[in-house]
């Protein structure tokens, strides 16, 4: 799920990704097979600030 979100963000669909996160915040806590969280998989500038959990 999150990898699709990352691909969408990279293609300039930030608004769609923001809506997904707003209505389904659990997406931020999904991990991949290497136990990485979505914000750890993003490149700098690609929704990193949105996906990163609050401090």
What pLDDT tens digit does each residue of the chain (55 aa) get? 567 766 776 776 777 777 777 777 666 677 767 777 666 666 666 566 666 766 6
Q: What is the pLDDT of residue 34?
A: 72
- Residue length of the chain: 55
Q: What is the pLDDT of residue 40?
A: 65
Count CA within 13 A, CB hemisphere, residue 24.
9
Boundaries of every domain in the chain: 2-51
Determine the Cα angle at 41 with ends 18 and 46, to 5°.
45
User: What's 46's DSSP letter?
Assistant: S
Q: What is the pLDDT of residue 35?
A: 74
């Amino acid at each position: 799920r999150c990898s699709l979100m990352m691909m969408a963000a990279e293609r300039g669909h930030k608004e769609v990704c923001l809506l997904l996160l707003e209505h389904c915040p659990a997406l931020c806590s999904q991990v991949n097979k290497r136990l990485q969280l979505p914000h750890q998989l993003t490149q700098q500038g690609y929704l990193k600030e949105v996906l990163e959990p609050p401090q």
